[in-house]
Amino acid sequence: MRLTLFAATMVVILLGQAIPSNAGIPVPVEMTCPIGGKKFTFIDTMSSSRWGSRPDGKPYGSWEFPMPVPACPDNGLVMYRQFSEAEIKQLKALLKTPNFQKVRNETTYYRIAWFMRALHDKDDATALWMVNQASWQADGDPEIKARYQREFAEGIATLPKEPESLDWIALQGRAANAWRELGDFERAKQVIASVSTEMLDVPIPAEVVSGTTPSGLGKTITNYEQIMIAKNKRGWLSYFADLKKLIERKDKSSEPIDMIPIREAARKCMDMKEAGSQLNPYCANDAVKQQMDAFQRVQDAIAAERAKPH
């Protein structure tokens, strides 16, 4: 299983908090479908930023997530990577099959999973992670989202057990969350109970500084990678602990206020405040209150500027 980048995202998800956002910059890219030669315009971005995620892994950021991928408008092929000549020949036949026609109108990431399996170019875990990302694309359609989440969670249960693999542990956590959002709290508990998180309970090493950076503005930390690995493991340890709390209170929400980034929780609290609703107890969290105060100062500044005679 090769999902190291996926497992490592927990450092940003749980430890990164109120990071200033930078809006993504839309860039139109002229594309040509490798099958049929259809030309179309794909809207890409020059840059994007992220500042955490939902329990299902969907990031909060300045662009659309999952990251959009180009898809041929006439035949449904998703261009998630470069294809070889042999693969293009294989894909021409695959696009005509009844099996592909069944998924032709599914989200692009669900189709990516289909192509990965059809081409045998990725392992089962990676294809299943595409299905999970497809569920993010289906946020506006509860029925489709639930179908994707169930397929993802059931698929994760069939993977070979790798209790010492952080990737395997992380996917079990996402599967438990999928069952939680589906309202199957007993199944979610069973998944969590099947995972040992002892390997995640590690100390974070102290920095070993060997000098300054070439610019002289920073320091060189020789054990930076080891520190990040430890932080990542502790991030997943916190994830499992927080997920258990959601399951115990039978919370099915995709954005539980106490398991999303502080800035997003603060926005929810601000919305409650402005609507005159009773605030969630989590709004009393010191970090959330500080972020709310920051938002309020910005709002007050904007209001004062607008009130000035022009």
Q: Residues 155, 128: contact at Cβ < 8 Å?
A: yes
Per-residue pLDDT of the chain (310 residues; tens, 9 = 90+): 444 556 765 544 443 333 344 567 899 999 999 999 999 999 999 888 899 999 999 999 999 999 999 999 999 999 999 999 999 999 999 999 999 999 999 999 999 999 999 999 999 999 999 999 999 999 999 999 999 999 999 999 999 999 999 999 999 999 999 999 999 999 999 999 999 999 999 999 999 998 887 877 788 899 999 999 999 999 999 999 999 999 999 999 999 999 999 999 999 999 999 999 999 999 999 999 999 999 999 998 998 889 888 7
CB 194 within 8 A of CB 225: no
69 Cβ partners below 8 Å, 6+ apart? 78, 79, 80, 108, 109, 112
* Tokens 């999952």 found at: 66
Q: What is the pTM of this model?
A: 0.89
Alpha carbons 285 and 15: distance in angstroms, whole number:
16
